[in-house]
Amino acid sequence: MFGVGRDLCGSPSPTPLPKQGHPEQAAQDRGQMPLSDSVTTCLSPPVHYVICRLGFEKKDTYDISNILSENGEVRWQAVAEHVCYLESDQSVDYIRSIRSFGPVCECVNLHFQSLPKEQFVVQYAVWFRWTNYTELFLEVFDVLQRTQTTEVALGLMKLTSCLERALGDVYLLIGKDCPFLLRDLLASQQLAVVFGQAVMNVLRVFIGSPYGLNLRNVLWHGFASPQEIPAKYCAMLLFLTAGLGQLLQTYLLQTKCILVHRPYVVFVSLEELDAFPDVNHEALSIAEELVKLSSFVLKTMLPFWMAALTAFKQNRYADCVILLLPQLEVGLRLLFTATNKCPNRLLTAEPSALYTTFDEMLAKHLDNEEVNQLPTVLEEPAMEFLWDFLNHQEGPRIRDRLSHGEINLKAFPREVANQIVAFAITLLCRFSDEDIPFKVKELLRIVYGFANQEHVVIKPLMNCARCYRSRFHPISRLKKQVLGCMKSIHLWPELPTVPEEHVRTIKGLLIELCDTHVCTLYSPRPVLEILVVLRKISTQCHRVSEQVIASAELRYEQWMKKTLRSRQRENYLRMLTSMKFLSPVLRLVLVLVTLELVNVHLVCKKNPFDYQQYLKFLKSVLQYTENLVTYTSPERNKWDETMELTNKSLMKIRKISDRKLMLMQLAT
């Protein structure tokens, strides 16, 4: 899913860090779960030291002219001199490097704060064009003038995702498959060719390595609170991005290459994401109170929650979701560590270990092979929502795409933000103190004049949360395919050999079957293998139907205009005869697919030999539908062969039915 939490590198262990006391350590040692009110940081002592203290140890005053020329060019050689290396193998010594960069970052931050906006635009805007989002970096400059901690953290999250996307575009000037992880991207030879290895080492001090500041990861995974991210590091990354633009321009001029930006991911079929009703002003008001009261929220993270809700009110939907997703991860991590009795995993991991991220929290088992208890606490609907929006390959995978810069932030759809906000509100309600309902009712009585408004506003959200079913699991996608294919077949001209009432019965049967709940969480491998074949069968049936419709419409028009030659007229009549036979057969295949789908988990009861025989049978049905696509194509028009092929396939289905290998037979 979202791999940045696994961002490990092969560098040796860094210089040992000074130990920092932690207010929750005693409780963790006793195996107790710290209350959300008492958690003061989610950064482990070493990580807290690296981010919050290490870069402030050197008190030297640094001169901006050392790293910035009079004509506005970044002096990369001087910048790179602050990267320190281990004597043993010349790999980056991150601790010494961060300490050395501290005064430099402070100097850059003060420089930006002293610049009028007009001068910054004139001097730097051109160097941000390579990111394909110049406006974002100008916004980050504005944020640095205000130094509001939540805005700085948000700006840094957006900057790092945009920077990663742009670096990926540069990578593709030379390479083919862009690495998914920022760690691997920064370590690639392709970027070293364009920018130089020393420059890439500078970037790795700030982002992409768990041994460095790792700013992008600790923010996107919700480990850092607003006040724990120094603004000077945001300023430094802004400065470095401009410098990268200068280096890239030189490279492009030398090589005559043209930088091409990959298109953004566009959310299609937004209606599929529409699970919750619209979050209105009243619901947001309740959410603002719940955030202050709910134990799902770490108090150090409260500013992020409030900023997210404010962003939604202001129609800044991308900002809202960027702020909210890490906070959902924090709240779920709190539940995860409590239910699985592993309080130490609430904090950032050491460089040699993995962070506890959505990947681990949504998994069936813990890393020690014990069963994860979080799904039991969250219950199936909430788990399915999280898997749908974060994990499933055919789903929106919002966090992946936002954090890797794949989404146009300027056109982020309200529909998607609404679903995340609504889901967050339901979690605030579910995991809250016992007296919260009373407090919220009192609030509503004061604000709106009557106490039952809570049910009017919140109850629809809670009902939707309880009824949610997966929409992007292969099981759900197959159901949608089957119904879509049947709808297509119903567009075929009425056939006198198929009574209308019989058509309606088959149609109703399929809708009822597809409405049957089939468990989607943690589907075993055999189930997923069967689903792949069933989906392919459904897809081919739909292609056959669409081809038949297109051919029938075209031939009918030509018939009426009397433009068909004698042979074409005969072929058209054969097609009409075949359609009368083919229509019920395709319906039969769809019913078979659907019945196998609703019983798909029974495949795990088959012994290996029967499983292989069953899989072989399904693949023969798939082969039949693939051949149908070929025979019914406008280029082939082999309708007699279609009839013959269909007869043979029906015999195979009859034969396998007699052997009772189908899943629907196991169910009975």
Residue 664 is predicted with a pLDDT of 84
The token pair at 224 is 């850092």
Q: Residues 71-96: pLDDT tens digits?
A: 889 999 999 999 999 998 889 999 99
Residue 391 is predicted with a pLDDT of 92
pTM of the predicted model as reported, rounded to 2 decimal places: 0.86
Same domain, 112 and 234: yes
Residue 640 is predicted with a pLDDT of 87
**Cβ 355 vs Cβ 348: under 8 Å:** yes
Amino acid at 545: S
Residue 517 is predicted with a pLDDT of 87
What are the DSSP calls for 513-563, one per residue?
HHTS----TT--HHHHHHHHHHHHHHHHHHHHHHHHHHHHHHHHHHHHTT-
State which H helix or E strand residue 465 sits in.
helix 453-467
- Cα 460 to Cα 413, 441, 455, 608: the distances in Å are 22, 16, 8, 47
Same domain, 123 and 244: yes
Same domain, 453 and 591: no
Residue 372 is predicted with a pLDDT of 93
Instruction: Round to whole Å and give the CA distance between 232 and 106.
Output: 5
Same domain, 111 and 188: yes
What are the φ and ψ backbone dihedral angles of 435, each rounded to 5 degrees?
A: -90, 5
Structural domain includes residue 557 = yes
Same domain, 172 and 54: yes
For the chain, residues with pLDDT lower than 50 are 1-34, 450-452, 495-507
Same domain, 352 and 481: no
Q: Residues 15-40: pLDDT tens digits?
A: 333 333 333 343 333 333 345 567 88
Which among 576, 587, 586 has a CA at the least distance from the CA of 645? 586
Same domain, 330 and 376: yes
Q: Residues 498-512: pLDDT tens digits?
A: 333 433 444 458 787
Residue 580 is predicted with a pLDDT of 82
- Cα 246 to Cα 72, 130, 243, 576: the distances in Å are 10, 9, 5, 67
> Domain tally for the chain?
3
Structural domain includes residue 34 = no
Structural domain includes residue 32 = no
Same domain, 144 and 282: no
Same domain, 363 and 443: yes
End position of a domain, from candidates 204, 231, 255: 255
Structural domain includes residue 100 = yes
Structural domain includes residue 52 = yes
Average pLDDT along the chain: 87
Instruction: Round to whole Å and give the CA distance between 521 and 527.
Output: 11
Residue 19 is predicted with a pLDDT of 35
Same domain, 649 and 591: yes
End position of a domain, from candidates 440, 467, 494: 467
Query: 541 CB contacts (<8 Å, ≥6 apart)?
Result: 485, 586, 589, 590, 625, 628
Same domain, 538 and 555: yes
Structural domain includes residue 318 = yes
Residue 13 is predicted with a pLDDT of 33
What are the DSSP calls for 562-584, one per residue?
T---HHHHHHHHHHHHHHHHHHH
End position of a domain, from candidates 255, 282, 298: 255
- The span from the first CA to the last CA of the chain, in angstroms, equals 38
Instruction: Round to whole Å and give the CA distance between 622 and 652.
Output: 12
Same domain, 480 and 511: yes
SS3 of 68, please?
strand
Segments forming the whole domain that contains residue 521: 474-667
